[in-house]
Amino acid sequence: MPVATHFGPRAVTTPRTEYGFFTVQPVGTCIGGEIQGVDLTRPVGASLHADLHQSLLDWKVIFFRDQRISATQQRDFARLWGELEVHPFLPAGDLPEVVRFAKDDATKGYENIWHSDVTWRQIPSLGSVLRAIELPPVGGDTLWADMAAAYEGLPEDVRDRIDGLTAVHDFAGSFGQAMSDEELERTRREYPPAEHPVVRTHPETGQRAIYVNEIFTSHIVGVDPDESDELLRFLCAQARIPEYQCRFRWEPDSIAFWDNRSAQHYAVSDYWPAHRVMERVTIIGDLPAEEERPRP
């Protein structure tokens, strides 16, 4: 498998920073912007929502500081973008739509693998809204990677090779590890493996992005298993390239809202045995589509 020889994305254009209701401070070159001038304790009207949505498409992950909101307000904010999921495997907070990630001296972090949320679902996520509640004195950052830039950075022959391929996504390799054989079989009937394109075309921006990840993608359909493993290792490794990333240092009441259709994330587990408590709401998306890449 060829190694990427670039120093950065083939065509990086920093998104705009001025919107009608706020400005954006870039956190990374091609992904990640911190919203300046929005108070989420106040109602989000249609015009502000439109600006926030556009900034999400532009930056792929947007951040808010000093937002002292409740779980109910967090849920209602996320609901502006669509129906919310109730996660079948992760612990809920005070509301069924709110997942609570609580780490302490008895519970170590386990989300430190690059991934996009719930790609094992037949209809995976549009995006996720994560709120910081309790943080360690140091550490516990989260990184995001722009998988559209990662796709553009692939060698031409690799892009030709993966266009049109489909991969299988399955919860069993992660959440199924603690299940008995009987429980796994029963749960798999409810949540069967899903097939999604290896290269996903974003339904709103038209950008093409690598849509496989280390946690949930098991294999590529119709490809020799050894070749599938090699190709998946190479594609998943693209998220680790720093030029495609941004890193966010959490503070109390910080919020991150990211687009799972075009970004992956990694929660750094470097703070044990300190406490870290976060709450996440995930928005149901649409069926991933693959479109033929225009040829010159």
**Which residues carry out catalysis?**
115, 117, 265, 280
For the beta sheet containing 142-146, the strands, ordered from the edge strand earlier in sequence to the opposite edge, are: 245-248, 142-146, 263-267
Burial class of 123 by CB neighbour count within 10 A (0 to 12, 13 to 18, 19+): middle
Q: Give Dmax over CA atoms of the chain in angstroms.
A: 56
Pull the structure tokens for residue 28: 């990374």
Burial of residue 193 (CB within 10 Å: 0-12, 13-18, 19+) is: middle
**Which of 293, 286, 279 minimizes the C-alpha distance to 128?**
279
Q: Are 236 and 76 in contact (CB under 8 A)?
A: no
- Number of helical (H) and strand (E) elements in the chain, helices listed first: 6, 15
Give the residues across from 255 on adjacent strands: 64, 131
Cβ pair 253, 67 in contact under 8 A = yes
Contacts 24+ apart (CB under 8 A), 86-91: 87/118, 87/282, 88/187, 88/190, 88/191, 89/171, 89/175
Nearest Cα residue to 262 out of 186, 171, 201: 201
CA–CA separation, 130 and 225 (whole Å): 36
